[in-house]
Structure 1
Amino acid sequence: MRTRIDACLAARGGEVAARVEAAEIGRYYLMLNDTGRQRFLNLLALQYGIDHEVARAAALELANAEGEALLSAAEKLRDLLESPRLRLMKRFNGIAGGVKFLVDLRADLLRLARKDASLAPVAREMRSLLASWFDVGFLELHAISWDSPAALLEKLIAYEAVHEIRSWNDMKKRLASDRRCFGFFHPAMPDEPLIFVEVALVNGVADNVQKLLDESKPAAEAEEADTAIFYSISNAQTGLAGVSFGEFLIKRVVSELQVQLPKLQTFATLSPIPGFAAWLTSACQEGRAAELLKASENMQITAMAGMDKVDDALQALLARPKWMEDRRTEMVLQVPMTRLCAHYLLHARAGKRAADPVAHFHLSNGARIGRINWLGDISAKGLSQSHGLMVNYLYKPNEVEKNFAGYMEGRIAAAPLIRDLQ
């Protein structure tokens, strides 16, 4: 393998021959099992990095150069700071399927790098390279419909990361006349969505995903809808993790929908809160949940559970099988759980950013927290992630820039209804 890599980098037969070698390297890699792939990536990490001693000497030469020699020294240093493995990766850009190969190779790299720190420099270089190749200016926004190729629809089913597509009937419902689906595509990967968003055209802001995805419900008149609900946004390529284009997708789709359906007045999400249940468990274990609730709420929770400590009682109630089907339990929990969720969204932090990853995504795109929805997702996944709560993030075009700037300074935009829960 080293012989092929060296031949590809030397390019003694010209650029075409070098790319033929790159294609052979790619074919060889795809035949390897996990152990073989790790060895290949280790080879790149350990043998094809930057020669730091040579680069250091070139940097010293640059520091002492003047006039035309300065330009020459700068160019020399720039070339030396591009590692041989990065030059190898660039060879794949000119061969059929080469870009997709690199995206998938980075997916392997990210997975294997969790247990092998020596792969981290390769991962960083690949991220930088792919970020330049997948700049939003190169991406194409395409509508996806029931008439799209079956192979593409199968990929949507496979890549859907928020609400599982259970059947072809479910898929058809999501592409009905009162639904829209848009994806970003790259010219080098025309059959592969990079990220896609599913939209429901409704009247009023949706508060329950099971109702929204009910296959038995007939399609409404899209032209009469006043609200677009973004209910699922899925990154389709693991190898592009860290390459951000989600915010551009939402803005482009909002603009597209405003042109297609001028009656639309509201653009909102119906979003999961994937970190809430874990945060609440931690808060209860530390005895913090009771401090965030009103005395009357604490009394009702302990009385319902038959326990003395509020935090223990809350966990006990939530651990009961099908607690949400018991009307008395549900009524006792609704307001305090909504209050705790509001605190989580407004105040829980991971560094300077919102702790919840979905909250961070939308808030950093200029949305504001609009409403918390009690039992908005009672699927097994929804109950395990957030005890069934969901949230609407509102995208108001005239507020997006202000909300974004505020979030960068540590402020979270939220409706008065959310603030009043504190």
Structure 2
Amino acid sequence: MNFDYTPKVQALRETLLAFFDEHIYPNEQAFAAEIARNRQDGNAWAPTDLIETLKQRARDAGLWNLFLPASQRGAGLTNLEYAPLCEIMGRVPWSPEVFNCNAPDTGNMETLERYASEAGKREWLEPLLQGQIRSAFLMTEPEVASSDATNIQTRITRDGDSYVINGHKWWSTGAGDPRCKLYIVMGKTDPDAPRHQQQSMILVPADATGITVRRPLTVFGYDDAPHGHMDITLDNVRVPASNLLLGEGRGFEIAQGRLGPGRIHHCMRLIGLAERALELMSKRVLQRVAFGKPIAAQSVTQERIAEARCMIEQARLLTLKTACMMDTVGNKGARGEIAMIKVVAPNMACQVIDWAIQAHGAAGMSDDFPLAYAYTCARTLRFADGPDEVHRNAIAKLELAKYTDANLAPRGDDGQEAGASK
């Protein structure tokens, strides 16, 4: 496997790094200040002017829709080519939206690109690609263990030329943004069908009658405004039958197509986040003195820095291998690697960021530094798009299947999610 940057990627990477130096890092405090002003004005959910300004600059720089592979609508990069660019965007959690490469919109755009009708693409995909609207993915439910997505209770019932939807969803990331115009909803169309053919996915306008956004959910005290993670009920929500994606019983098939890229994108960004944490940690320990010598001279500090570097490099290599396999053998062929990196990257990032927090002392737990929120993001991703335990189970089954009865092999339903709205 060749992980060298292609000339196109090298040029994009240099442009992206320069954009961060000029527009992202200098505006981290400005972004936080604008969010704070919106809160003081009583509207924490208002989109930020800063993001909108930077989005146009990113488009002008040719840094737009980099994520969408094998498509004339995007940059046409492979997963492997996108990896180093996505890693850079992960260094600042709010930055992917600047480049229209933010979750859950990326996963939703890929879903629409692959599975929506031409009419659906015109209505929803095009404005999403233009960054004019946002979207949410409604899969997780509060009343059931969503790590097993077959537990989903939301019903999607055919009624003439319509489907009627009833259910309760939560952790619907992006649904708090007033620009969120589309929900992709997973529910059961036939509870009597075989276990993995009961579920379907359907496009639901966010302003449809019967939808109630009940509350935002917080993660370690952060509400992630202005996009948020919302608790939503759907009460006799009626949409045209043509809004169903692919057909009844195809929900798991669509989920596999959507969540594979979504999972690796999270891992790419987490590597960038861990790199930023290690960078901040290294600078901090060189500047601070304790017990008569720089913290950097303490052996425990050096051991942690060395271990962090090893862990980041290992996770990056596994991510690149996974991206290469997705490009060459497809998401199904790479399902073991996707599961492995989804376990490895969040745990790696949590540990590296935790060490960085420790090196900053009590300040590391405050919002004076980006580490507390970085840890929140990394810890969340041990649940989003599938908890660690589900992915480890899938990995183990693939491994055991090499030596035992083929019936142990995963059926392609590797749990999907808890918090798959990400």
Q: What is the TM-score normalised by the length of structure 2?
A: 0.27
Q: What is the TM-score normalised by the length of structure 1?
A: 0.27
Query: Based on CA coordinates, which of the two structures has the bigger radius of gyration?
Result: 1
| Structure ranking higher on relative contact order (CA contacts 8 Å, 6+ apart) | 2
